[in-house]
């Protein structure tokens, strides 16, 4: 099956600022992909490149096997909701649906009307008067009623309260199941991503730090805890992502590429998604070591 997103040495520069560097990814179709990273990591840049809003400076990007926004057909295959879920404030909810129907050849009006009723949006209400959660629901409805193959969301739940976030993500999951679409969404809320994503991309400092199937990644990462000085150097195939020390204890976060770590170290514990992501973000935030290049990151507490 054609990957939903494929990039090769993708880079984007704004003037002198390098927003994305050498990103090479291949994401299978029918996944819910979470894109995480600190402020300024390059998440919006990657999503804007995928939706064709901007063009790469270097490298290549393909979405569903074609150049993003190459033509009207390609535009119809992708639904994009930018950060802050922009709407036309003076148009009503119903006007938005009519506009969607005019602009999109594959518009599914039944789906749009059903969704609006289900989430309790008043078709006569001006979009500018909707709450953040209602606006997000309207934007999700508009993007989904295009019946795209890929839905892209830039921080769709950032402005929502916990209940609205849960409702929104629940709706999203229902859409994914019903419409069989792929989803690419960025968020800072790792707990939310853990609930909805089956694929993960971690970006920091404009580069990919980690990418892959969530279950496989969680299976491959461990925490090793031992009295300080008692941990043997890790065997080949075990990459130390982060090492932290207290006066008495050393904790290593490691990636096992052999699948045999537990055979040697039965006490190794699995991580949750948040712990795993934070280890990579912590590593990316450290200054690049010069004298000990290739050595694990050392953090003392």
Determine the Cα–Cα distance for residues 193 and 188; give it in Å rounded to an integer. 9
> Please, is 186 exposed, middle or buried when counting C-beta atoms within 10 Å of its C-beta (0-12, 13-18, 19+)?
buried
Least distance between ligand ATP and beta carbon 2 (Å): 26
- Number of residues in contact with ligand ATP, rule: CB under 6 A? 11
Least distance between ligand ATP and beta carbon 43 (Å): 3
Determine the Cα–Cα distance for residues 194 and 200; give it in Å rounded to an integer. 9
> In 3D, which of 33, 5, 16, 43 has the Cα closest to residue 208?
43
Stretch touching ligand ATP by CB under 6 A, among 35-43, 61-69, 119-127, 257-265: 35-43
Looking at the Cβ atoms of 153 and 175, the one nearer to ligand ATP is 153
Contact mark string toward ligand ATP, 42..81, x via CB under 6 A = xxxx------------------------------------
What Cα–Cα distance (Å) separates residue 263 from each residue in 225, 258, 268, 276?
A: 16, 11, 10, 21
Contact mark string toward ligand ATP, 233..262, x via CB under 6 A = ------------------------------
Applying CB under 6 A, does 104 fall inside the site for ligand ATP?
A: no
Stretch touching ligand ATP by CB under 6 A, among 37-45, 61-69, 262-270, 280-288: 37-45
Least distance between ligand ATP and beta carbon 48 (Å): 7
Least distance between ligand ATP and beta carbon 20 (Å): 7
Q: CA-CA-CA-CA torsion for 55, 57, 60, 62, nearest 10 degrees?
A: -20
Applying CB under 6 A, does 39 fall inside the site for ligand ATP?
A: yes
Going by the DSSP 8-state scheme, the letter that residue 129 receives in this structure is G
Q: Which of 16, 17, 248, 301 binds ligand ATP (CB under 6 A)?
A: 17
Stretch touching ligand ATP by CB under 6 A, among 13-21, 105-113, 127-135, 176-184: 13-21
Determine the Cα–Cα distance for residues 192 and 186; give it in Å rounded to an integer. 11
Applying CB under 6 A, does 16 fall inside the site for ligand ATP?
A: no
Applying CB under 6 A, does 37 fall inside the site for ligand ATP?
A: yes
Q: Name the maximum alpha-carbon separation found in the chain.
A: 68
Least distance between ligand ATP and beta carbon 40 (Å): 4
Q: Which of 14, 170, 262, 295 binds ligand ATP (CB under 6 A)?
A: 14
Looking at the Cβ atoms of 193 and 224, the one nearer to ligand ATP is 193
* Helices and strands (H and E) in the chain: how many: 10, 14
Least distance between ligand ATP and beta carbon 111 (Å): 29
Applying CB under 6 A, does 19 fall inside the site for ligand ATP?
A: yes
Stretch touching ligand ATP by CB under 6 A, among 14-22, 108-116, 217-225, 285-293: 14-22
Q: Are 231 and 250 in contact (CB under 8 A)?
A: yes
- The answer for residues whose C-beta is within 8 angstroms of residue 294's C-beta and 6 or more apart is none
Looking at the Cβ atoms of 3 and 40, the one nearer to ligand ATP is 40
Burial 107-122 (b: 16+ CB within 10 A, else e): bbeebbeebbeebebe
Residues near ligand ATP, by CB under 6 A? 14, 17, 19, 37, 39-45
């Amino acid at each position: 099956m054609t990957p939903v997103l494929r990039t090769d040495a993708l880079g984007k520069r704004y003037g002198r600022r390098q927003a994305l560097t050498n990103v090479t990814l291949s994401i299978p179709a029918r996944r819910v992909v979470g894109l995480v990273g600190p402020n300024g990591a390059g998440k919006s840049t990657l999503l804007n490149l995928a939706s064709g809003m901007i063009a790469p400076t270097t490298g290549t990007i393909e979405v569903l096997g074609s150049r993003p926004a190459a033509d009207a057909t390609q535009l119809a295959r992708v639904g994009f909701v930018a950060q802050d879920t922009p709407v036309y404030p003076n148009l009503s909810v119903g006007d938005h649906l009519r506009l969607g129907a005019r602009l999109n050849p594959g518009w599914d009006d039944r789906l749009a009307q059903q969704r609006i009723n289900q989430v309790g949006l008043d078709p006569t209400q001006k979009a500018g008067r909707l709450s953040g959660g209602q606006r997000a629901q309207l934007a999700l409805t508009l993007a989904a009623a295009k019946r795209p193959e890929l839905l892209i969301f830039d921080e769709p739940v950032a402005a929502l309260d916990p209940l609205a976030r849960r409702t929104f993500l629940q709706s999203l999951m229902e859409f994914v199941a019903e419409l069989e679409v792929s989803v690419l969404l960025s968020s800072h809320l790792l707990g939310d991503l853990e609930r909805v994503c089956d694929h993960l991309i971690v970006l920091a400092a404009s580069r990919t730090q980690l990418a892959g199937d969530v279950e496989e990644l969680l299976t491959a990462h461990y925490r090793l805890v031992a009295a300080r000085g008692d941990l043997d150097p890790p065997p080949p195939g075990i990459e130390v992502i982060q090492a932290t020390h207290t006066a008495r204890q050393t904790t290593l976060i490691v990636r096992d590429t052999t699948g045999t770590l537990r055979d040697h170290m039965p006490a190794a514990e699995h991580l949750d998604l948040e712990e795993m992501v934070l280890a990579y973000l912590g590593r990316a935030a450290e200054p690049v070591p010069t004298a000990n290049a290739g050595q694990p990151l050392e953090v003392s507490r």
